[in-house]
Amino acid sequence: MSVDRADVRAALLATVPEADADPSSVRLVRSPGRINLIGEHTDYNEGFVLPMAIDREIVIAFVPTDDRLVEITRLDTGAVARVELDGDHERSGTWGDYLAGMATVLVERGVPVRGLRGVIASSLPIAVGLSSSAAIEIAAAWALVGGESPPLPALELARAGQQVEHEFIGVNSGLMDQLAVTLGRRDTALLIDCRSLEHRPVPLPLDRHAIVAVDSGSPRRLGSSAYNQRRAECEAVVSAVAERFEGVHSLRDVNADMLDAVRDTIEATAVARAEHVIGENERVLGCVDALGRGDLPAVGGLLAASHASLRDRFEVSSPALDALVEIAGGVAGVVGARMTGAGFGGSIVAIVERDAIGALRDAIAKEYPARTGLQATVHVVEPVDGAGVVDDGA
């Protein structure tokens, strides 16, 4: 389900006279979205995550210009975002904030940016927990430097995207999404150690199984303060433990015994948040081991435990996500399912025998609207390479 390159190129030629006059100057860049298999709310605690870049993407077709204006038209709605590269950027609450934010952040990092006229197209659903934000940030970065070479080395590029979230969008996110959409590799997930930023591809059993995202139809409200509040709760635990133990800088340094030692001095909810993170890091490593051994029942058990912990200890699930996980869990051939991404709505991820995808769709269609009053959408996703230039052969 990639964006049709010919469509977006044709739209650019029809909208932008400079492109029509010189089609050889047209460039295409893309960024995938991501789905996280396991390791939720661990990234900003310097823990482990296991995401993959997915074959749903954002594509920008454009011509670089020598002026200081960035003007991009949405292929689907015709809405236009305009950014004056040398002007001040007022936050507008629209997708233009990502462009303006990335332009500012690149310049701050000493990267020259250029004007452009472009068209943006997407096959990535927005605000459903599949990282459309990271995708637009990283695609914008590639476009803003002219679309020929990388805007920055990969890790720094990911950090630039994260900086946009922090300073222009108001979400104190971790680095997982930007790393996943930048470093993703075809056919594999990525195990990332969010402390050292070491990462390695983890093969998935994709011959007989598929990775399935199910959008709950209840939009994720990440900007809402709940995400930032969770992060602050985790930091409060770190401060309490650091008063008693040396060398504690993040929840990655905290074990169950240390948590026990401060249990009576901090809020019970904060303890529960930390228990989630400590357990989730172990589950990520356990999942990578189980995948390596081909032990899919163990993988399924870890996904289920992750969901339960996010629901009961970290409290970022929702009745809709819980219903989807329960429905998926009742379908023969579903290896495991859990909420994915920040939570508070959004999507679940499931590992499903390819032959059982139809049964999963049927079960969701039959049970989910009746239980929740919502409509869910099933997306079978494949792991793809991270962001970059598109060679569409034109």
Closest distance to ligand GLA from the beta carbon of 254 (Å): 18
3-state secondary structure the chain: CCCCHHHHHHHHHHHCHHHHHCHHHCEEEEEEEEEECCCCCCHHHCCEECEEEEEEEEEEEEEEECCCEEEEEECCCCCEEEEECCCCCCCCCCCHHHHHHHHHHHHHCCCCCCEEEEEEEECCCCCCCCCHHHHHHHHHHHHHCCCCCCCCCHHHHHHHHHHHHHHHHCCCCCCHHHHHHHHCCCCEEEEEECCCCCEEEEECCCCCEEEEEEECCCCCCCCCCHHHHHHHHHHHHHHHHHHHCCCCCCHHHCCHHHHHHHHHHCCHHHHHHHHHHHHHHHHHHHHHHHHHHCCHHHHHHHHHHHHHHHHHCCCCCCHHHHHHHHHHHCCCCEEEEEEECCCCCCEEEEEEEHHHHHHHHHHHHHHHHHHHCCCCEEEEECECCCCEECCCCC
Q: Which residues bind ligand GLA (CB under 6 A)?
A: 40-41, 43-44, 173-174, 176-177, 341-342
**Which of 73/131 has CB closer to ligand GLA?**
131
Closest distance to ligand GLA from the beta carbon of 81 (Å): 22
C-alpha 138/C-alpha 382 separation (Å) is 20
Closest distance to ligand GLA from the beta carbon of 293 (Å): 25
The DSSP bridge partners found for residue 210 are 352
The DSSP bridge partners found for residue 199 are 192
Closest distance to ligand GLA from the beta carbon of 194 (Å): 9
**Which of 342/352 has CB closer to ligand GLA?**
342
Closest distance to ligand GLA from the beta carbon of 56 (Å): 15
C-alpha 203/C-alpha 114 separation (Å) is 38
Active site residue 177: yes
**Which of 15/216 has CB closer to ligand GLA?**
216
Closest distance to ligand GLA from the beta carbon of 343 (Å): 7
**Which of 139/342 has CB closer to ligand GLA?**
342
**Which of 62/227 has CB closer to ligand GLA?**
227
Q: Which of 177, 187, 322, 391 is catalytic?
A: 177
**Which of 13/285 has CB closer to ligand GLA?**
285
C-alpha 209/C-alpha 246 separation (Å) is 45
Closest distance to ligand GLA from the beta carbon of 375 (Å): 23
**Which of 40/97 has CB closer to ligand GLA?**
40
C-alpha 41/C-alpha 155 separation (Å) is 19
**Which residues are marked as active site?**
177
